[in-house]
Amino acid sequence: MAANAAPDSLLQKSDDELLYLVQHPEFYHPDLVFRAGRELRRRGVALPQSISRAAPVLPANVPANVPADEAAEEAPRPRTRRWAAAAVAGVAVAGLGWWALAPTPPPPPASPAAAVEVPTELEAVVARPLPTFEALTAKQVQEVRRQLPVADRADTTATGRYLRMARRYWLAENQAAYLTRLALADSLTGTLPGQVDLTQERISWFMRAKAYNQHLTPFMEERLTQMQKGLGLRRTSLNYIKRNYEATGKPHPDKQMRADSHEAQLIAEDLRGRGGRQAPVRGNLSEL
């Protein structure tokens, strides 16, 4: 804080702010501390004894040969300070006595509305956090890497890009499959809409990166296309689940949603090299 602050700035400060200045002189310039003490004395505020008993320190801009009457104006005599402290203490004692002897007013009567007010009952909502599946995703990415041909793995740059895309896929696929299982088991909670939005953002994270040419091998590109197809099916199913849940409180899975979820699951198993994939069902589902 500047040492030569304008005096009128001290006039705008409260008594507590000025007391803080004089009680902590180690943080401020001596001139400012001195002027704050002088302003408190001018207002008639009693300073703490530890400060009032200390010898007044003149500001640095007061010459050493200043006349005695001018120095006395800058540093009031101890007797005057003791008298001011005693006067303030007397006023405080009188105020405490009046407060102790004053009659206590009766409490206000309760209004009829307040007497019959019924507390609001909060409905308990089961909170089921959405797992991140980080550990499972790391394992799945390694499984996807083992499916690459040896020649493709030799291209370390392409392999690194492909595995980063695979990680995006598995993070989105695992969360989408988790929410789909809850919907099929009718175990959804009120947090479903927000969790679907988070999973859809995971899917979009993959789709945006898939739009760019990352200069991968043909095998890698074919696998990324499979991932894209699987997440497209997941996106459609999640939109269906969220729309029904917000309208009726139930997911109401139909044949098409079940077929899309099953197809997405088969794609995920193929990517991990687990085989056993059947040919996709052809024709109109309503005729099956």
pLDDT in tens, 86-115: 666 666 666 666 665 656 666 666 555 555
Q: Is the pTM of this model over 0.75?
A: no
| Highest mean predicted confidence (pLDDT) among 44-58, 102-116, 227-241, 264-278 | 227-241
Structure-model confidence comparison of residues 107 and 206, the more confident one: 206
Which single residue is written with the structure tokens 């409905």? Answer: 123
Q: What is the mean pLDDT of residues 5-34?
A: 79
**pLDDT tens, position by position, 44-93:** 887 777 665 554 555 555 444 444 334 434 444 444 455 556 666 666 66
Q: Which residues contact 254 (CB under 8 A, 6 or more apart)?
A: 240
Domains parsed from the chain with CATH numbers: 14-88 (no CATH), 134-277 (1.20.1440)
| 31 has a pLDDT exceeding 60 | yes
The predicted pLDDT at position 211 comes to 94
| Highest mean predicted confidence (pLDDT) among 10-14, 22-26, 174-178, 251-255 | 174-178
Whole-Å CA distances, 155 to 150, 151, 211: 9, 7, 21
Token output for 174: 């695992």
The predicted pLDDT at position 20 comes to 84
Q: Helix axis angle, 134-146 relative to 156-184, nearest 10°? A: 130
Amino acid (one-letter) located at 179: L
Kindly indicate the confidence band of residue 12, based on its pLDDT and cuts at 50, 70 and 90.
Answer: confident
**pLDDT tens, position by position, 110-168:** 555 555 565 655 545 556 788 989 999 999 999 999 999 999 999 999 999 999 999 99
- The rounded distance, in Å, linking the Cα atoms of 193 and 249 is 11
264: alpha, beta or left? (left if phi > 0; alpha if psi -120 to 50) = alpha
Nearest Cα residue to 176 out of 246, 242, 275: 242
Structure-model confidence comparison of residues 2 and 50, the more confident one: 50
